[in-house]
């Protein structure tokens, strides 16, 4: 376990309307005692349409969890139908913006260049990008997953200043482990997370490499999170399916904080 505080972020993907979002956030807030937040940062990443409701609840009840968006436009404003800008998300109190998720790379043809622009758009608006990288199965089978993921990472950060890179979160999400129930072993996760950190250290120095949180994502559950965060270079998780169930997500957060719920 490292000295970096773990982050557990629940990526709801395209699930739950704003009323269901309120119910789930209330459930998490009620179930996870406040003391756990000293040991784990907890975030929810709902669809855009839910964010205002989550903001109202978090502000109104002074909840300790934070929230973010699943994507951010590379553009600042203007004639970009369907896009949502970083400034709009910042105004809604978002802490994070997920950038470069494999589902966006695959279904929306997001290239490394687009992902790099989105990282900048997030940082420009004081949103912490959760930059996702990860290899598909054929790359894993070819054994070139380290080159693939470090290449994605460095491409997305191209041209940024060291202090900007210090503000990001990286998420390693092997595509073959997303939604498949096939979780990477802790050794698999550690191998890539350590390599990603090594690439950051080489390029931006030890302070950045030691400070940036590198999460693992892909079929994370309450039953496997402890072994993942026990790895030196795994600083939490980006959770899909298991984040939609309040009891399961709460248990998962508690395990990431080092112990089960009372």
Ligand X SMILES: O=C(CO)COP(=O)(O)O
Residue of closest CB approach to ligand X: 240
Quick note: the x/- pattern for ligand X over 154-173, rule CB under 6 A, is -------------------x
151-159, 196-204, 212-220, 252-260 -> range binding ligand X (CB under 6 A) = 212-220
Q: Percentages helix, strand, coil for the chain, rounded to the nearest 5?
A: 50, 15, 35
Task: Examine residue 219 and tell whether it contacts ligand X (CB under 6 A).
Answer: yes
Whether 173 is catalytic: yes
Helix (H) or strand (E) holding 22: helix 18-31
Task: Examine residue 46 and tell whether it contacts ligand X (CB under 6 A).
Answer: no
Whether 190 is catalytic: no
From the list 72, 97, 184, 238, which residue makes contact with ligand X (rule: CB under 6 A)?
238
Secondary structure class of 130 (helix, strand, coil): strand
Task: Give the dihedral of Cα atoms 164, 165, 170, 175; nearest 10 deg.
Answer: 100
Compare residues 176 and 204 and give the one whose CB is closer to ligand X: 176
Compare residues 101 and 120 and give the one whose CB is closer to ligand X: 101
Pairing of β 169-172 and β 128-133: parallel
Compare residues 33 and 179 and give the one whose CB is closer to ligand X: 179
The answer to whether residues 46 and 16 touch, using CB atoms and an 8 Å cutoff, is: yes
Task: Examine residue 178 and tell whether it contacts ligand X (CB under 6 A).
Answer: yes
Secondary structure class of 238 (helix, strand, coil): strand
129 torsion bin: left (phi>0), alpha (psi -120 to 50), beta (else): beta
Q: Mark the binding-site residues for substrate, compressed into ranges.
A: 11-13, 179, 219, 240-241
Helix (H) or strand (E) holding 246: helix 246-256
CB of 161 to ligand X, least distance (A): 27
94: nearest Cα among 140, 134, 44? 44
The answer to whether residues 48 and 69 touch, using CB atoms and an 8 Å cutoff, is: yes
Quick note: the x/- pattern for ligand X over 6-25, rule CB under 6 A, is -----x--------------
77-85, 109-117, 119-127, 239-247 -> range binding ligand X (CB under 6 A) = 239-247
Chain residues binding ligand X by CB under 6 A are 11, 101, 173, 178-179, 217-220, 238-242
Active site residue ranges: 101, 173
């Amino acid at each position: 376990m490292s000295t970096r505080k773990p982050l557990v972020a629940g990526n709801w993907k395209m699930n739950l309307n704003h009323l269901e979002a309120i119910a789930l956030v209330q459930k998490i807030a009620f179930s996870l005692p406040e003391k756990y937040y000293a040991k784990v940062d907890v975030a929810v990443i709902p669809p855009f349409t839910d964010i205002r409701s989550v903001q109202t609840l978090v502000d109104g009840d002074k909840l300790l969890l934070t929230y973010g968006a699943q994507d951010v436009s590379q553009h600042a404003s203007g004639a970009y139908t369907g896009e949502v800008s970083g400034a709009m998300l910042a105004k809604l109190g978002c802490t994070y913006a997920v950038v470069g998720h494999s589902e966006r790379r695959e279904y929306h043809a997001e290239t490394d260049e687009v992902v790099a622009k989105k990282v900048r758009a997030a940082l420009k608006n004081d949103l912490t990008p959760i930059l996702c990288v990860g290899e598909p199965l054929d790359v894993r089978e070819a054994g070139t997953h380290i080159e693939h993921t470090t290449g994605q990472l460095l491409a997305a950060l191209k041209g940024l200043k060291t202090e900007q890179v210090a503000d990001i979160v990286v998420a390693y999400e092997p595509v073959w482990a997303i939604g498949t129930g096939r979780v990477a072993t802790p050794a698999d996760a550690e191998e890539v997370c350590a390599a990603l950190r090594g690439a950051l250290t080489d390029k931006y120095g030890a302070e950045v490499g030691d400070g940036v949180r590198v999460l693992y994502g892909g079929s994370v559950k309450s039953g496997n999170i402890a072994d993942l965060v026990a790895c030196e270079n795994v600083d939490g998780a980006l959770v899909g399916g298991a984040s939609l169930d309040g009891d399961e997500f709460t248990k998962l957060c508690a395990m990431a904080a080092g112990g089960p719920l009372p």
